[in-house]
Amino acid sequence: MLMKDDLMVCGVVLLVLLLMLTIPGYSISDDDIKYIGCYTDDYAKSQNYKIKESITFNQGVHFCQHRLTKYVGIQEDSSSPFFMFPYCGNDIPQRSTSALSTLCRPCEEPATRTCGRENSISVYQLPETANIVVLLATDHGVKTVTDSSNITTNIGGITERVLSVDFYYKNDQIIFSTERELLKSTYNPFSMRYSTASAIYSKDYYSHGDRVEWSTVDWEQEDKIYFYIDGYQYAATLRQIGI
């Protein structure tokens, strides 16, 4: 439970209505991706994110970059030129066995890259630095601005005044509040965007019409969120409120 002084500090911080974070998931330049070599896939299989959708080379790279891993291993399925498995990990080259370069064949797209093949992966090193992204709580929703492009993106599904905004790293979600609701937006690795906002809590669910005043994620205990409703502070695990 936060003490009164802590609540006052939180209130001052939240009045700023701006949160600067290192949020993964924004596009990186093709020149920033360094080819490391061709390796067997034995070790990388333990690091595999099983994707059941057809993805492109760039989406595979982006999938691992969004998780802030150092390497991505690409393995193209011979049954489809656009069905690739990305392997995300920080020690793939060090723990894997080198393979003959001829076992990693050119990708169908882009042909200038190699995409592994059966029992082999092409390993690329991703940039060590992530983009700085500013989350803006505005009178008309949440906006994100990345330092690499200065492009402003709106989180869909919300046009009301946003009182507070925070980020939940474990689930890759933006958590924010209006006077009426607590909401979340979850990252989609295929569209490479955050989803349309959905409500976690709405005052419409309650006859006495509670008013949400602010919310914040506990960065030390990442499974907790604090929110202030009609003058009362609440603490709950994210699982308890449906995250």
Alpha-carbon distance of 208 to 82, in angstroms, equals 53
Q: Looking at residue 4, what is its pLDDT?
A: 39
Percent of the chain exceeding pLDDT 90 equals: 23
What average pLDDT does the segment 135-162 reach?
A: 83
Q: 12-16, 33-37, 200-204 — which is least confidently predicted?
A: 12-16
Q: 87-91, 96-100, 177-181, 201-205 — which is least confidently predicted?
A: 201-205
Strand residues in the chain grouped as ranges (E): 18-21, 34-40, 71-76, 84-89, 120-125, 133-138, 141-146, 152-154, 164-168, 173-177, 181-188, 193-194, 198-202, 212-217, 224-229, 232-237
| Residue that wins the pLDDT comparison between 101 and 201 | 101
Q: Quote the mean pLDDT of the chain.
A: 77
pLDDT at 9 > cutoff 60: no
CA distances from 57 to 25, 46, 77, 85, 238 (A): 15, 20, 12, 9, 34
Question: What are the structural domain ranges in the chain?
Answer: 30-125, 133-237
Question: Within 13 Å of residue 159, how many CA atoms lie on the same side as its CB?
Answer: 0
Q: Looking at residue 185, what is its pLDDT?
A: 92
State phi, psi for 205 to the nearest 5 degrees.
Answer: -75, -15
Percent of the chain exceeding pLDDT 70 equals: 74
What DSSP assignment string belongs to 128-163?
SSPPPEEEEEETTEEEEEETTT--EEEPTT--SPP-
What average pLDDT does the segment 117-143 reach?
A: 86
Please, what's the b/e burial string for 137-158 (b: 16 or more CB within 10 A of its CB; e: otherwise)?
Answer: beeebbbbebeeeeeeeebeeb
Q: Is 38 in contact with 99 (CB distance < 8 Å)?
A: yes
The whole-angstrom distance between residue 159's C-alpha and the CA centroid of its chain comes to: 22
The CA radius of gyration of the chain, in Å to the nearest whole number, is 21
pLDDT at 243 > cutoff 70: no
Of the ranges 43-47, 183-187, 210-214, 218-222, the best mean pLDDT one? 183-187
Of the ranges 17-26, 113-122, 168-177, 226-235, the best mean pLDDT one? 113-122
pLDDT at 186 > cutoff 80: yes
> Is 2.120.10.30 the CATH number for 133-237?
yes
Binning pLDDT at 50, 70 and 90, where does residue 144 land? confident
Q: Looking at residue 125, what is its pLDDT?
A: 95
| Residue that wins the pLDDT comparison between 154 and 223 | 154
Of the ranges 15-24, 127-136, 163-172, 232-241, the best mean pLDDT one? 163-172
Alpha-carbon distance of 186 to 168, in angstroms, equals 10
Binning pLDDT at 50, 70 and 90, where does residue 242 land? low
Q: Looking at residue 14, what is its pLDDT?
A: 36
Q: What is the DSSP letter of 197?
A: P
pLDDT at 113 > cutoff 60: yes
Alpha-carbon distance of 184 to 186, in angstroms, equals 7
